[in-house]
Amino acid sequence: MVAETILQSEILTKFVYPFLLIFFIVFAVLEKTKVLGDDQKQLNALVAFVIGLIFVGAVFPKLVVANMILFLTVALIVVFVVLLLWGFVSSGDKGLELSKGLKTFLFIVLGIAVVIAVFWATGVGGGFFDLLFSSNWSNAFWTNFLFIVVIAAALALVLRSSK
């Protein structure tokens, strides 16, 4: 059995967190747009409070917002990982300078790696990956494929340096 923390309790996840989220978003929008007038913090807070309470009372909008927040957090992590890896590939003024073609190749490999990582982390595409990596022919195929890629890369480097 999984231990539940106080932050995961049902009262917090079903009522307090959605209320606070909507309250702060509505309050910030009302403050920024000044729809109810300048220097109306109390009125903006009261309107945001009522909208937050109405939101918590409805079930379907809460589910939609909860799903969107989960999607947002996963998307932010994926974007962070992509930007972190991109920073390693595209060096700035200092450090290793790569040619434009090599950078493009590394960006493509990076994109493919991130897509595969997201599929792996979510458990999507298990049948496809099992076909590629768990079949009786896959071990020999990937060994030969890697061998051919290494030979092609070595030939490309030798032919490029001889020019």
pLDDT digits (tens, 9 = 90+) for 117-137: 777 777 776 677 677 778 888
Q: How far is CA 97 from CA 3, 10, 88, 94, 101, in A?
A: 50, 53, 11, 8, 12
pLDDT digits (tens, 9 = 90+) for 78-121: 888 888 877 777 766 665 666 777 778 888 888 888 888 777 77
From the number of C-beta atoms within 10 Å of its C-beta (0-12, 13-18, 19+), residue 18 rates as: buried
pLDDT at residue 93, rounded to an integer: 63
- Residue 161 pLDDT greater than 80, yes or no: no
pLDDT at residue 73, rounded to an integer: 87
Q: In the chain, where are the structural domains located?
A: 1-58, 73-124, 127-163
The confidence band for 32, taking pLDDT boundaries of 50, 70 and 90, is very high
pLDDT digits (tens, 9 = 90+) for 38-69: 889 999 999 999 999 999 888 888 888 888 88
> How is residue 9 annotated by DSSP?
-
Q: What CA–CA distance (Å, rounded) separates 45 from 41?
A: 6
Residue 43 CB neighbours (<10 A) = 13
